[in-house]
Structure 1
Amino acid sequence: MQDRAGSGACATDELSSPPPAAGTVSRQYAVTVAGIPEAEVEVDLGLVARLLGAQHPDLLGRPMRIAANGWDNVMVRLGHDLAVRVPRRAAAAVLVEHEQRVLPRIAPLLPLAVPVPLRVGRPTAFYPWSWSVVPWLRGEVAASVLPSVRDAWAVPLAEALAALHVPADADAPANPVRGVPLAARGEAIRARMRAGSFARAGQLRAAFDPDAAAHAYAGPARWLHGDPHPLNMLCVDARLTALIDFGDVTAGDPATDLATGWLTFTPTGRGAFVDRYTTLTGANAATWRRARAWAAGMASAVLGASDDHPALAAVGRHAVEQILGDRSFV
């Protein structure tokens, strides 16, 4: 969750452009997001057919339908097992290229499904950006189930993130608001909390400050998902099955990803999440304090920009409740 001011670029703050509203649809991409920025290129079925015909003609003839018209991309379902991910804004095109470059490398690390591009599309005379053909991943958005149900996924998610958090390649995408030292984000986060644009903002800042003062990360830059909150997870039959939307993928402090402990779980699930990840990685108390600080920053961004997105607001309110009720690691 990076607040890209509605973009797909790694640009402003902690929250990604609002994902699909939970409960709207029980599929990965089948939703239209309210309040989306104006498209810089209108993407319709005719354009997608032209792109496929020019670069992947063997895929023409499959049934197509618009599955989502979101902040960053238009998703077109292609047959029963594929989707075409086509940026509608220049900012999003950069993130699609990040996914194309990185997901084939990191997907083998993960015990969960991820939308690794199966085909790559490049700019043409009639369309300016890269685009992808990805697998259609079946499932419900995890935010559509109760946090107490999500608690059952605490160990699998901890294992997935531990598997992902290995030293990254030197060419990992840069992201100025993910994986960086908290000192670089502190003033922006505090400014949102001072604004008082959401309930309990002052209390959240009081909780943020001591956690943000935890020892800075001094290890190697590790692969990060960048945005592993409940709107970027899929479940089938109450089982966690996939991580989606790797547009914020980067390298840095794993505490950024570990903020999901407060965004996703209740204290019961978070305890299992912390225990399993710590057992696998040796994460110390400072890591978890930084993770909680990142969670506070993400919650403040969500609650300041989710008036038209109830599911995103619910994630933010849940996170605030969890952070303010948790004084472990002190």
Structure 2
Amino acid sequence: MSPRKVYADQADIGTPLVRELVAAQFPQWAALPLEPIDSGGLVNAIYRLGPDLSVRLPLRPSTAGIVQREQAKLAALAPFLPVAIPSVEAIGTPTKAYPGEWSIHRWLPGAHPSPSTLVDPRGLATDLAAFIDAFRQINLPDRPPAYPGERRTRAPMASLDSPTRKAIDDLADLIDTRAALASWEESLAAPYDGREVWVHSDLTPSNLLVSPKGRLTAVLDFETSGLGDPACDLFPIWYLLPATVHPEFRTTLNTDPPTWLRGRGRVLSQALTVLHHLKDTNPALATSARHAISNVLATP
């Protein structure tokens, strides 16, 4: 099993290649069982290595030190957070067969939550609010920006305006474009005082793990985490949590109306973009995006 094709320049990755890389560079783990994981992600091919490890290979190989920066960031953040996050156990070097850095992580147990099968929505909302609040309190000397591609202005959502409007236009056969445009423009106009805190910036179900009892056990994928608008971490409201727990979640995080609107807009923008690009190639992410869009457009 090889990862689904996402990019034209995607590396040719398969189980034999991963076995070869592990055996050559980390022989202490060469005898462990290796199993591909269909994560539906857009960044890494993931393989489970024995009971306690996973192998991650970027779909687009790079030698730009991305994996080392990830290792340093995760190690710095972990002591401040109330649930487990990934830890990089080893970093593999490029080869002719795979011309980029790759990594071995500690395996984190749990399952991705689904909005239709939440066991304990209120408990999960409490856990997520505690994670977001703890993240906001972090104060480290290294202060990278979240979403580094966005313009660093007092209105950072402006950089999302053009692609969001294009996605709305291109999805005319799938969504209520008039409602989507009205919602987006209302969020785009919400004021922002420029206050920045540490944010994860992508708290979607595919980046969360829960226990059989429905409580949060781990958060994944910190690639775009950094300093940003507090609204960036309101994603669970529209992607995952039922409306019955929204008021408590919002109050716990001291979310004022402008922040709520900006958060709603960011969710809409991301979900529209995901649906636009992946509706035919990644059913799981497209379904999650549709759910979020539906919830945003149902919000008064």
1:311 aligned partner: 284
Unaligned runs of 5+ in 1: 1-30
CA–CA separation in structure 1 for the residues paired with 2:245 and 2:152:
24
Identity of aligned residues (%): 30
CA–CA separation in structure 2 for the residues paired with 1:167 and 1:213:
30
The alignment status of 1:296 with 2:268, answered yes or no, reads yes
Indicate which of 271, 274, 277 corresponds to 2:253. Answer: 277
The alignment status of 1:231 with 2:202, answered yes or no, reads no
Q: 1:54 Cα shift?
A: 4.2
Distance 1:37 1:115, change over 3 A: same
2:185 aligned partner: 209
1:137 aligned partner: 108
Indicate which of 226, 232, 236 corresponds to 1:250. Answer: 226
The answer (yes or no) to whether the contact 1:179–1:254 under 8 Å persists in 2 is no
Indicate which of 29, 42, 46 corresponds to 1:59. Answer: 29
2:60 aligned partner: 89
Distance 1:149 1:208, change over 3 A: farther
Q: Provide Cα deviations, 1:168-202, integer angstroms capped at 9, x if missing partner.
A: 54452662159971112122212222332531122
- The letter of the residue matching 1:52 is V
2:126 aligned partner: 155
1:9 aligned partner: none
The alignment status of 1:183 with 2:166, answered yes or no, reads no
CA–CA separation in structure 2 for the residues paired with 1:204 and 1:149:
30
The alignment status of 1:323 with 2:299, answered yes or no, reads no
Distance 1:92 1:212, change over 3 A: farther
- Name segments (4+ residues, structure 1) moved above 6 Å: 91-94
Indicate which of 89, 97, 115 corresponds to 2:86. Answer: 115
Q: 1:85 Cα shift?
A: 0.8
1:15 aligned partner: none
2:75 aligned partner: 104
Distance 1:33 1:233, change over 3 A: farther
CA–CA separation in structure 2 for the residues paired with 1:167 and 1:186:
30
Q: 1:290 Cα shift?
A: 0.9
Indicate which of 237, 241, 253 corresponds to 1:261. Answer: 237
Distance 1:169 1:215, change over 3 A: farther
1:198 aligned partner: 174
Q: SS state of the match for residue 304, structure 1? A: helix
2:51 aligned partner: 80
CA–CA separation in structure 1 for the residues paired with 2:89 and 2:128:
24
Distance 1:54 1:223, change over 3 A: farther
Q: What number of residue pairs does the alignment pair up?
A: 292
Q: 1:209 Cα shift?
A: 1.0
CA–CA separation in structure 2 for the residues paired with 1:60 and 1:215:
54
- The letter of the residue matching 2:13 is V
Larger deviation: 292-301 or 174-183? Answer: 174-183
Q: SS state of the match for residue 84, structure 1? A: strand
- The letter of the residue matching 2:286 is A
TM-score using structure 2 length: 0.84
CA–CA separation in structure 2 for the residues paired with 1:178 and 1:266:
33
CA–CA separation in structure 2 for the residues paired with 1:197 and 1:179:
34
Q: 1:98 Cα shift?
A: 4.3
Distance 1:178 1:152, change over 3 A: farther
CA–CA separation in structure 1 for the residues paired with 2:51 and 2:164:
42
TM-score using structure 1 length: 0.77
Q: SS state of the match for residue 88, structure 2? A: coil
The answer (yes or no) to whether the contact 2:268–2:293 under 8 Å persists in 1 is yes
Q: 1:167 Cα shift?
A: 4.4
Q: SS state of the match for residue 48, structure 1? A: helix
Q: SS state of the match for residue 253, structure 2? A: helix
Q: Provide Cα deviations, 1:74-121, integer angstroms capped at 9, x if missing partner.
A: 222211111111223136987545422311111222112211212222
Q: 1:128 Cα shift?
A: 2.1
Indicate which of 19, 41, 47 corresponds to 2:17. Answer: 47
- The letter of the residue matching 1:227 is D
The alignment status of 1:164 with 2:140, answered yes or no, reads no
